[in-house]
Each structure stands twice: as structure tokens, then as C-alpha cells.
Amino acid sequence: MRPMNSAPTAGTGRVLSGMRPTGALHLGNYHGALRNWVALQEGYEGYFFVADWHALTTDYADTSLLQKHVHEMVVDWLAAGLDPEKCAIFVQSQVPGHAELHLLLSMITPLGWLERVPTYKDQQEQLKEKDLATYGFLGYPLLQSADILMYRAAWVPVGEDQVPHVELTREVARRFNNLYGRDPAFAKKVKAALGKLGPAEVREKY
């Protein structure tokens, strides 16, 4: 899997990306992601999903508008040119495998890996008015890992702040493979990947 920071004109492989239904879409959503998705559907196998479980990681206290936002988001996607004849469009919570794989990955992922993801403390600072002392918020990048690994995506369009989440996905997959006998070079690869996540010293045992 590789992060994709802009839409290429042609290519091969599976692309996966999602968007949280936290309110009305704006020009930033269009220019930052949706416009690229519309271009990607022409040359890639596209999987684009409404990340409603991800929305709960920060907005769990009030879910009264969630379904309305889900519906409006899909309508906006279609209006922008995303075509269900050319790509898969779906709601995350309607595919139980996302939750199941997230649960299984949570059994093998050291807490330190999640605590070192840069967005964890950054968003806590930005969203001080919300109680984010929950596993749901801490485990948000791991849920994203489950999203990616479920579909074996080769390309993952993300913003710069999400690149560490893709790196985390790589190390979680390597740890899983090592535990079940697939990758004898796991430890070396994990140390290299952890070096990209942050300056903290690697203390976890693999």
C-alpha cells in the first residue's frame, strides 16, 4: 500500500479512500479529495466509503445527525461525478468485516504504537472541548488500518497528516504476518517503519 497525495492520470491497482460524515461538504473537501477520486475512478479499481464509524471516534456524544450527513455526503459525491458504475461506493458500518478486522488487529497492536501517531496528541489539542480519552479515538488509526488491509489496497489517497497512519498500517501488517509465520524479517522492517512515526524510542517487544 502506498500513500497517494495527488491524482495520477492513469494507472493500475486498487485505490481505497474514505471520508467522515461530520457535516456539509465544502470546497476544501472537493479540491482536497473528491476531485481526485473522480479522476481516479477512470484508471483504477476504486473503493470509496462513507467512514461513519470514524465519525464516532470524535462525535460519539451526539449521533442525531449522523444518518442525515451520511445521505447528504453520498448525494454530494454523485453530484461531483463519482459514478457507481465505475467504482464501489459504500457505507463503512454496512460491512461488518471492518469492525471484525479492527477487533482482531487490536489484539496484537502495542499501545505505544498508537500513542506515538502524531495526530493523536495534535487532535486532542485541537479538540479540547471534547472528551477524547477513549480507545475509539486512540484506535482510530488502527480502524483505518483495517479499512486498508481488508481491500488489499495498493494506493491510499491521503493528506499529509494521514501518512503516518499508512506507515502504521504497514507495521501492523508486518507484525501480524510475523506472528503467524510469514515474514522472518519482521523486526528489522518494523524498526525502520517506527522511525518514520516519531522521535520516541522503540521500547515495545515484538
In a domain, 206, yes or no: no
In a domain, 199, yes or no: no
Interatomic CA distance for residues 79 and 100, integer angstroms = 32
Interatomic CA distance for residues 195 and 206, integer angstroms = 15
In a domain, 181, yes or no: yes
pTM, two decimals, is 0.81
* Structural domain of 178: 2-194
Residue 71 CA: distances (Å) to CA of 46, 163, 206: 20, 28, 42
What's the structural domain count of the chain?
1
Residue corresponding to grid cell 485505490: 15
pLDDT digits 0-9 by tens, 155-171: 998 878 888 899 999 99
In a domain, 205, yes or no: no
Interatomic CA distance for residues 38 and 7, integer angstroms = 9
Helix ranges (DSSP H) in 81-162: 97-106, 111-115, 118-126, 135-138, 140-151
Q: What pLDDT does residue 21 have?
A: 95
Interatomic CA distance for residues 166 and 172, integer angstroms = 10
pLDDT digits 0-9 by tens, 71-97: 999 999 999 999 999 999 999 999 999
Interatomic CA distance for residues 129 and 29, integer angstroms = 24
In a domain, 103, yes or no: yes
In a domain, 26, yes or no: yes
Q: By 3-state DSSP, what share of the chain in percent is helix, strand and coil, each rounded to 5?
A: 55, 10, 35
In a domain, 203, yes or no: no
pLDDT digits 0-9 by tens, 109-130: 999 999 999 888 888 888 889 9
In a domain, 15, yes or no: yes
Q: What pLDDT does residue 194 have?
A: 73
Q: Which residues of 93-118 are buried (b: 16+ CB within 10 A; e: fewer)?
A: beeeebeebbeebbeebbeebbebbe
CATH number at residue 187: 3.40.50.620
Q: Does the pLDDT at position 9 exceed 70?
A: no
